[in-house]
Amino acid sequence: MSAAQRTAVVAPVRRRSVTLGLSATGCVAALVVIALLVLAVIGPMLAPYPPGAIVTDDLFGPMSRAHLFGTDYLGRDMLSRILESARYTLGIALPAAALASLTGTSLGMLAASAGGLTDAALSRAMDTLICFPSIIFSLVVVAACGSSVTVLILTAGVIYTPGCFRIVRSIATDISAKDFVHAARARGERSPAIVLEEILPNMVAPILTDFGLRFVFIVLLLSSLSFLGLGIQPPYSDWGGLVRENLDGLSSGAPAVLIPAICIAVLTVSINLLIDSLPSRKGARRG
């Protein structure tokens, strides 16, 4: 083997194709998620009508040329409302899920690597937090601080931190007992390096999967809050809120209730599909 060949073989970069190693399903899911994100940003500019304006007498109107997604229980244009609400759903649920994942992961790692008193204290605190039903907890917070996007993000983020914490802590504890972590300790590596170099790389997949799950929960929590009047304040709404406010149209199969429900389904399913199809080395390179 020539010297040139040698370096080529040990070159650290693994060449990836344009699909980033995603499967076909993963590519579709990624495109959908990107499209929804774009809509969330530019949606309001595309809306044919102002979101709060009552534009027709036809309540729960069907899909038509004038109202592509029909009209709602007050006679407002659904397309405009969907486009307008996208940024609330995505703009709250994504950061809230990210916040929950981030704090849950950091605290979980801290508990697992520090052990002892730190671990005990953190675990008890999380256990206490998880005891409050999420609706009651948000009720109290929103009642105290008022409802704003920031408050909603923080509330949802805090509510779903313990779940992530528990998962991360238990997986990290398992991994810490493995010999490759012992080997790193024996090498003299310090805890932060061990967490970042040895433990965390083995946790990316479970953390992302957990993130997908939390995201779905948060979308549902938001719609419950809107229903109670504690979420996004009218005339604005999120997709879950749209479903709730148009629930009466369900018996007649009105698009006003179906379309936002479908939007939620498409969003949550594609996020989870995207996460699941992220190239997990194992499946990809076996055999």
If one asks whether residue 198 binds other proteins (CB under 8 A), the answer comes out as yes
Q: How far is the CB of 245 from other proteins (least distance, A)?
A: 46
Least CB distance to other proteins at residue 30 (A)? 23
Maximum Cα interatomic distance, the chain, rounded to a whole number of Å: 80
Cis peptide bond upstream of 235, omega within 30: yes
Give the C-alpha separation, 155 to 2, whole Å.
Answer: 60
Nearer to other proteins by Cβ, of 93 and 109: the residue is 109
Backbone angles phi, psi at 144, to 5 degrees: -80, -40
The Cα–Cα gap between 198 and 213 comes to: 25
Q: Is 37 exposed, middle or buried (0-12, 13-18, 19+ CB in 10 A)?
A: middle
- Cβ(212)–Cβ(204) below 8 Å: no
CB of 38 or CB of 284, closer to other proteins: 284
Binding of other proteins at residue 11 (CB under 8 A)? yes
**Is residue 276 within the footprint of other proteins (CB under 8 A)?**
no
Q: Which of 233, 130, 231 is nearest to 122 (CA)?
A: 130
Cα–Cα distance measured from residue 116 to residue 276, given in angstroms and rounded to the nearest whole number: 34
Q: How far is the CB of 98 from other proteins (least distance, A)?
A: 22
What is the smallest separation between the CB atom of 206 and other proteins, expressed in angstroms?
A: 12
State which residue, 19 or 180, has the beta carbon closest to other proteins.
180
The one among 12, 46, 106, 154 contacting other proteins by CB under 8 A: 12
Stretch that binds other proteins, among 73-81, 125-133, 185-193, 226-234 (CB under 8 A): 185-193
Select from 91, 98, 100 the least CA-distant residue to 239. Answer: 91
Residue 10 touching other proteins (CB under 8 A): yes
Q: Does 185 bind other proteins (CB under 8 A)?
A: yes
16 part of the interface to other proteins, by CB under 8 A: no
Burial (0-12, 13-18, 19+ Cβ within 10 Å), 177: exposed
Question: Given candidates 183, 196, 228, 265, which one binds other proteins under the rule CB under 8 A?
Answer: 183
Count, residues near other proteins per rule CB under 8 A: 28
Does position 15 bind other proteins by CB under 8 A? no
Q: Which backbone phi and psi does 77 adopt, to 5 degrees?
A: -75, 120
> Residues interacting with other proteins, by CB under 8 A?
1, 6-7, 9-12, 14, 178-180, 182-189, 197-198, 201-202, 204, 281-282, 285-286
